[in-house]
Amino acid sequence: MKAITYFLIGFHFLCVSCGSPEAKNQTTVFSSDAVAMCHTGPIPSRFAALRQDAIVAGDAQDHTGMVLIPAGKFRMGSLNFEDAQPLHDVELHAFYMDEHEVTNAQFAAFVKATGYVTVAEQPLDPKDFPGVDPNMLVPGSAVFAAPDQVQGLTDHMQWWSYVAGANWQHPEGPASNIQRRASFPVTQIAYADAAAYAKWAGKRLPTEAEWEYAAKAGSHTDETYYWGNEKKEDGKWLANIFQGEFPIKNTKEDGFVGTAPVKSFPANAWGLYDMEGNVWEWCSDFYRPDTYAKESDRHNPTGPADSYDPQEPGAVKRVQRGGSFLCNDQYCERYKAGSRGKGEVNSPTNNVGFRCVKDIGK
């Protein structure tokens, strides 16, 4: 089981862990992981069997549950993260954005209407896993579980496991379900799953420029957090992140150990909820650490033509934004303003979801 575990979840967690003090020297910290766990061979064929072409695009004129984001210019990036530099001005068109992360109820409606089967539910082809017992090649995905103790924070396998039967309906594995979590963000979503939902809804995934512009909401300059410089306001947490000693003890000061129902925390100035924390959100851009340095068009940028992550050359990665309920200053600071996340496109986890946008007049 170890080989498949490594193959399937090795890619992603290098990114969700980055940005911590321990990970400031990311190459050093993670290079051994990358070599050992993240061989970048052919993508398993289960991931090619998705049926986006069969999905009928939804009503582009329906803006229910969306916020109109005005056209404008903003300063993109952060001096606190190497791959979010240089700071630069970006000009964007107006667009609509979902006011909250896509929920389990919304995703269930999509599945009911289309019969869509997510990446985590797809069977695995033994040809893609030579040397692995075919009986072990069962659908599943990666789940966080707090260990009793850890030996440092460099080996994320101490708290992430590949769990057979884990998927969007069973986010923590077969024994879990979403029956009482209709208003929680859907998780265990691979990039293609998010894109398929967006198409069905008559929407698309945001670019990371759109996402950051919307998160900064017209007022942010260089504060630490999207909401300002103070972590709490009147003693209250402003996002669902991780308090305590990561990963072994979550003190739940913000009220939630895992995901929270959407809109549990205050909206930003433009009425968007959970732009920080709760679940990571897929963006449509390929990830490269040098995106901002090489970007030439700063009007509605859509990102580079391909992805490249020096920690895992060959892995196809898209940008993720906003951090999750597992982010904290000990380990993952990438919920902070202007920071960038990244995820291997076929590695769903129980802390990654998405929200959609829609163009004006389409």
Residue number with CB closer to Ca ion (153 or 238):
238
Residue number with CB closer to Ca ion (187 or 240):
240
Closest approach, Cβ 254 to Ca ion, in A, equals: 4
Chain residues 319-338 in contact with Ca ion, contact rule CB under 5 A? 322, 325
Residue 212 is a binding residue for Ca ion (CB under 5 A): no
Closest of 25, 2, 29, 1 to residue 13, by C-alpha: 29
HSE (side-chain half, CA atoms, 13 Å) at 26: 19
Collapsing DSSP to helix, strand or coil, 250 comes out as strand
What would the x/- binding string for Ca ion be over residues 265 to 284, using CB under 5 A? Answer: ---------x---x------
Closest approach, Cβ 45 to Ca ion, in A, equals: 31
What would the x/- binding string for Ca ion be over residues 246 to 265, using CB under 5 A? Answer: --------x-x---------
CA-CA-CA-CA torsion sign (80, 326, 284, 304): positive
User: What kind and span of H or E run contains 199?
Assistant: helix 191-200
Residue number with CB closer to Ca ion (254 or 312):
254
Residue number with CB closer to Ca ion (254 or 344):
254
Closest approach, Cβ 100 to Ca ion, in A, equals: 9
Chain residues 213-252 in contact with Ca ion, contact rule CB under 5 A? 240
Residue 343 is a binding residue for Ca ion (CB under 5 A): no
Strands (E), the chain: 66-69, 72-76, 88-92, 95-98, 140-144, 160-164, 232-233, 236-237, 244-245, 249-250, 280-286, 317-321, 341-344, 352-353, 357-359
**Distance separating alpha carbons of residues 240 and 70, to the nearest angstrom:** 27
Residue 210 is a binding residue for Ca ion (CB under 5 A): no
In the chain, the amino acid numbered 284 is S
Residues that bind Ca ion in the complex, under the rule CB under 5 A: 240, 254, 256, 274, 278, 322, 325
